[in-house]
């Protein structure tokens, strides 16, 4: 979902075009199916960091979630995967605070499916800390401890760091995938102009991500 589409929550199809299946023709297309960051961002030595930039309220992120979670469970030892919640506008910043509060409590991964379903199936906004605490309580998350985490200096700092990282990667839509501080791709970019089901676009994005991981390994 592009930044400009957040207010409308439009689940639009990929852009039309005639690039064809680039992966089947010798590799993804630089500048179209993935972008190169120049200059590259600093990274942890010995690890190839893969980051999924997402938003709980993004319908495309919800569709992509099962594929990227299954993929992340099978990564080799030299690849480190993590999620970063974006903050494109006021209510998205509140969801970002929820993400980092839950992460600080060690509860985010377990709560994520229910949060996606609450927003997209049940129509819950979850756009203030009180409603979030009430929603999370049946999952065994103490409301007082949650609100303490939500308002903590550590979570505020994590949110600021996430915003800086999103800006450094030039994120203007989600889901997006940053690779090794050098590359950026996404399901919408992976389409290369083809009109495909979202699940298939997600798989293509992960194929491109693996291609980019290998480039980082080879320093290519």
Percent of the residues in the chain that have a pLDDT greater than 70, as a whole number: 88
Whether 59 and 110 map to the same domain: the answer is no
pLDDT of residue 8: 39
Whether 183 and 154 map to the same domain: the answer is no
pLDDT of residue 17: 31
Residue 22 in this model has a pLDDT that exceeds 50 = no
Residue 208 tokens, joined: 């491109």
| pLDDT grade for 75, boundaries at 50, 70 and 90 | very high
Q: How far is CA 60 from CA 5, 96, 147, 161, 211, in A?
A: 12, 17, 28, 24, 22
Are 147 and 129 in contact by the 8 Å Cβ rule? The answer is yes
What average pLDDT does this structure show over 170-190? 97
CB atoms near residue 35 (< 10 Å)? 18
Domain count, the chain: 2
| pLDDT grade for 12, boundaries at 50, 70 and 90 | very low
pLDDT of residue 193: 85
Whether 71 and 142 map to the same domain: the answer is no
Q: Answer with the residue of higher pLDDT: 140 or 16.
A: 140
Task: Calculate the average pLDDT of the chain.
Answer: 90
Domain that holds residue 69: 1-6+13-86+171-220
Q: Which sign does the torsion angle of CA 217, 170, 27, 210 carry?
A: positive
Residue 26 in this model has a pLDDT that exceeds 70 = no
Residue 179: closest CA among 37, 49, 30, 64: 49
What average pLDDT does this structure show over 123-129? 96
Residue 205: closest CA among 183, 181, 180: 183
Q: How far apart are CA 100 and CA 92, in angstroms?
A: 13
Question: 182: helix, coil or strand?
Answer: coil
Residue 81 in this model has a pLDDT that exceeds 50 = yes
The contacts found for 130-133 with CB under 8 angstroms, 24 or more apart, are: 132/98
Q: How far apart are CA 175 and CA 124, in angstroms?
A: 21
| pLDDT grade for 72, boundaries at 50, 70 and 90 | very high
For the domain that residue 185 is a member of, what is the CATH number?
3.40.30.10
Which of 1-15, 54-68, 180-194 is least confident?
1-15
pLDDT of residue 9: 36
* Residue at which a domain ends, from 132, 149, 168: 168
| pLDDT grade for 2, boundaries at 50, 70 and 90 | low
Whether 80 and 179 map to the same domain: the answer is yes
């Amino acid at each position: 979902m592009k930044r400009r589409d957040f207010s409308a929550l439009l689940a639009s199809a990929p852009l039309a075009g005639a690039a064809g299946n680039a992966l089947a023709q010798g590799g993804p297309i630089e500048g179209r199916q993935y972008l190169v960051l120049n200059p590259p961002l600093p990274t942890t030595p010995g690890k190839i960091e893969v980051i999924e930039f997402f938003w709980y309220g993004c319908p495309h992120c919800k569709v992509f979630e099962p594929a990227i979670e299954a993929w992340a469970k099978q990564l080799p030892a030299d690849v480190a995967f993590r999620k970063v919640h974006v903050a494109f506008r006021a209510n998205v910043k509140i969801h970002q605070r929820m993400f980092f509060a839950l992460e600080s409590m060690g509860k985010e991964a377990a709560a994520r499916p229910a949060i996606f379903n609450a927003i997209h199936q049940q129509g819950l906004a979850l756009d203030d800390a009180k409603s979030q605490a009430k929603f999370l309580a049946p999952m065994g998350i103490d409301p007082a401890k949650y609100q303490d985490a939500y308002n903590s200096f550590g979570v505020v700092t994590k949110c600021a760091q996430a915003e800086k990282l999103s800006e450094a990667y030039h994120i203007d839509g989600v889901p997006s995938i940053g690779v090794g501080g050098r590359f950026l791709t996404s399901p919408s970019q992976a389409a290369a102009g083809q009109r495909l089901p979202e699940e298939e676009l997600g798989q293509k994005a992960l194929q491109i991500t693996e291609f980019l991981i290998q480039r980082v390994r080879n320093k290519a």
